[in-house]
Amino acid sequence: MTVKTLIGRFPDSKWTWGLVCVPLLGLTTGFVHAPFPQWAVGELLEINPEKMTLVIRDDNSRKPLSVRWDEETRLWSEPAARNDRGVVFAAKDLAPGTQMRIMFKKYSDYNLVKRVIRQASSESAP
């Protein structure tokens, strides 16, 4: 079913066009970020258990990225088995300088991390 067919089913009014255009505009211009997770790779700079935040230096932009975590945030260590569900994230499991990969969602006033993957250090590699 095409957009034109859907619009043809609605009464011809300005409200109809508004209902169709506003969500499309929000999705295409970047106003709606939360449904789309993003990945970042970098070094842990700081962790604050009281505020449930951590800051990593993103390898791509070299800028600090501040993220929050919640009770649903999970932690994995590489290498992980395919069926590994990870553990509940806790600040004591990481130290500044740790290389990590995170999956986070951008909201209007903060970033929420959903997955933290502690990468294997290069020193322990054979």
12: amino acid identity, one letter: D
Using CA atoms of 110, 79, 47, 108 in order, give the dihedral in degrees to the nearest 10.
0
The answer to whether residues 27 and 87 belong to one domain is no
Q: What is the pLDDT along the chain (126 residues), one digit of tens a residue?
A: 566 665 565 555 566 666 666 666 666 655 555 568 999 999 999 999 999 999 999 999 899 999 999 999 999 888 777 778 889 998 898 999 999 999 999 988 899 999 999 987 655 444
Range of the domain at 111: 38-124
* Same domain assignment for residues 27 and 68: no
pLDDT of 124 = 45
Q: Answer yes or no: do 92 and 67 share one domain.
A: yes
Both 16 and 54 in one domain: the answer is no
For residues 106 and 67, state if they share a domain: yes
Say whether both 60 and 23 belong to one domain: no
The reported pLDDT for the residue numbered 126 is 42
Secondary structure E strands in the chain: 38-48, 53-58, 64-68, 74-77, 87-88, 99-106, 111-118
Instruction: Give the pLDDT of residue 25.
Output: 63
Judgement on whether residues 8 and 45 belong to the same structural domain of the protein: no
- The pLDDT value given to residue 9: 58
Kindly state whether residues 61 and 104 are assigned to the same domain. yes
8 and 65 share one domain: no
Residue 36's φ and ψ, nearest 5 degrees, are -110, 105
Total domains in the fold of the chain: 2
- For residue 114, give the CATH number of its domain: 2.40.50.320
Residue 125 has a pLDDT of 43
Q: How far apart are CA 114 and CA 72, in angstroms?
A: 7
**pLDDT for res 108:** 83
3-state SS, residue 124: helix
Whether residues 68 and 95 share a domain: the answer is: yes
Judgement on whether residues 27 and 82 belong to the same structural domain of the protein: no
